[in-house]
Amino acid sequence: MPIHNAMVLAAGLGTRLRPITDTTPKPLVKVAGKPMIDYVLDLLQAAGISTAAVNVHHFADQMETHLRDREQPAIVISDERDALMNSGGGLVKGLALLEEGPVLVMNADLFWVGENLEKPANLDRLVSFFDPERMDMALLCVRNEDTTGHNGKLDFSLAPDGALSRYRDGMPQPVVYAGAIALHSRLFDDAPTDAFNLNLYFDRAIERGRLFGIVLEGHWLTVGTPDAIGLAEEAIRRVGGGA
């Protein structure tokens, strides 16, 4: 099914990126001259997303100013100035601003480069893979060797059919969560209205056999510290191209 709406999680404090984030929200920190959130929004635009809700908290005014002139996708602000809602609570609050239906969810500070332009893009593949009849969520995952800036932590084990389980030492096909999800908003009809971590729903989906994933093609970047900016820029030069 086509997906036209997205939620971008962008409200975090970015404490590990201090002192840069003492004056700038993390999603607006530039990598190779481009704010991280713009890599993410460009990926969503290329995937056909028409409307994206973006939550804001840290230097929210700067975020709103930056996003105001964005035409595609159209931006709807989910205001968390009063209180951070964590990943799950922020997602639920943002989903309330969008029409009910399938949604792409992305982190504002996680993105990738180096996709093969002759093949379907990662988000297009994720949308095609997602089947709400048998999946609560479909996650975009990445092999650890295809990352820059990651701490090496392995999140899931990926089965041949795409089913995901929490990774434990020695399990086959270890992968890292790449910060992109396809889901149907009805999944959160019974969700808490206060702050909670999205991992709660990952684990619930695993218990039900309804968490699935695909492997990212290209190179994935995470920028958690000031030193990681240079590493990410070198990876972009090496792999070629931005989002």
The CATH label, of 1.10.540.10, 3.90.550.10, 3.40.250.10, 3.40.640.10, for the domain at 5-239 is 3.90.550.10
The pTM is what? 0.93
Query: Mean pLDDT throughout 152-181?
Result: 95
Tell me what percent of the residues of the chain surpass a pLDDT of 90: 85
Query: Mean pLDDT throughout 179-192?
Result: 95
* Residue ranges covered by each domain of the chain: 5-239
Per-residue confidence (pLDDT) for residue 152, from 0 to 100 = 85
User: pLDDT-derived band of residue 151, with 50, 70 and 90 as boundaries?
Assistant: confident
* Average pLDDT taken over every residue of the chain: 94
Rounded to whole angstroms, the Cα distance separating 180 from 124 reads 12
Query: Could you give the residue ranges of the DSSP H alpha helices within the chain?
Result: 36-46, 60-67, 86-95, 122-129, 199-207, 226-239
Whether 94 shows a pLDDT value over 50: the answer reads yes
Whether 139 shows a pLDDT value over 50: the answer reads yes
Instruction: Single out the residue of 90, 113, 136, 139 nearest to residue 238, CA to CA.
Output: 113
Whether 242 shows a pLDDT value over 60: the answer reads no
Query: Mean pLDDT throughout 110-130?
Result: 94
Per-residue confidence (pLDDT) for residue 81, from 0 to 100 = 93
Per-residue confidence (pLDDT) for residue 243, from 0 to 100 = 44
Contacts of 20 (CB under 8 A, 6+ apart): 14, 29, 226
Per-residue confidence (pLDDT) for residue 241, from 0 to 100 = 58
